[in-house]
Amino acid sequence: MDDNITDNPSNIKDVDASNFMAEVIEKSKEKPVIVDFWAPWCAPCKQLAPVLEKAVSNVNDKISLTKINIDENQSIAGQLQIQSIPTVYAFYQGQVADGFQGNLPESEVNEFVKKVINLAGPGQEVEELIVSLNNSLEQMDWDNAKSFANEVLKIDNVNKNALAGLIEAEIGSKRFDKAKEIVNSLNDDLKNDKILLAAVDKIEISEKAFLASSEIEPLKQKLKDNPNDLKLSLDLAVALFGGGNIMEAYEILLSSIEKDSEWNEQAARKQLLAFFQTDGLNSEHSKIARRKLSSILFS
């Protein structure tokens, strides 16, 4: 490692006791600051430095890297109890929030930097992308939704809203196998998150409805001949929903609930609520059907 590196990005700099408070403690109140403790005689330090600098330079506006030569700044090293080098600490909100010791592979350094960035939350760019993602989902613009979701995941690969949005976009595109692949790639913590659980539930409901959609006309004819057959009504509602005839599916289920709300352990009501979750509670179709459902149940 050279003592003076002149071509570093603006978010990478050498720090000493005179500016430690300003460059580390105070700046960490605005965004995370990584501190690399090193010494000129330390071979692992020289191996780690360019890897760490590369990872940080790729995210110039989200994080800072400061480098402290412990030979020249023993008071700082003593205060922070640095006992071996390289030691890397991440400061956020004026305090040590994470860190590691020793030389790590590049992949692990990159993951560490991503984790430190996430200390400050998603950031304005991610928030704007999530808004665009949600708007695309509401408009059933599946291609744009996938694009926005993938842009978020490039920045934050465990963003729950983006993962759920990507799953919903694949469902909307009738790519159920792809949606299942995304789910299978998630770790257990993500799979059990309520946002992603809701998205996962939609896969089975939507796939079942889509497969049934080819039976719409035969079911309509059967129901015409047997208008009080609530099982046929339920099957037709599922088929209609899968074919994109959402309001028609809702009307059939609402009619069934009016006829016999307790039939088959409230099967029509349960199916309607499941469709609300898949369609979105705030979709126009769902709002209309929910008002009608309330009128039926509480009249």
Catalytic choice (1, 24, 35, 45)? 45
Residue with tokens 């990584």: 34
Sequence-distant (≥ 6) Cβ neighbours of residue 222 within 8 angstroms: 229, 232
Q: Say if residues 56 and 67 touch (Cβ distance below 8 Å).
A: no
The residues that bridge with 36 in the sheet, in sequence order, are 67, 88
Residue owning tokens 């009619």: 255
Residue 42 falls in the annotated catalytic set: yes
Q: How far is Cα of residue 130 from the mean position of the Cα atoms in its chain?
A: 9
Exactly one of 33, 42, 48, 145 is catalytic; name it: 42
Asked if 45 is an active-site residue, the reply is: yes
C-alpha distance across the termini of the chain, in Å? 78
Q: For residue 39, which of 101, 87, 89 has the smallest C-alpha distance?
A: 87
Q: Is-contact 205 231, C-beta < 8 A?
A: no
- Rounded CA-CA distance 205/81 in Å is 56
Distance CA 102, CA 105 (A): 10
Is the separation of the CB atoms in 150 and 182 below 8 Å?
Answer: no
Angle (CA) 13 70 28, round 5°: 45
The CB-based long-range contact list for 267-270 (8 Å cut-off, 24+ gap) reads 267/230, 267/234, 268/230, 268/233, 268/234, 268/237, 269/293
The DSSP 8-state label assigned to residue 25 in this structure reads I
Residue 230 and residue 268 in contact, taking contact as beta carbons nearer than 8 Å: yes
Rg (CA), the chain: 28
Residues with catalytic roles = 42, 45
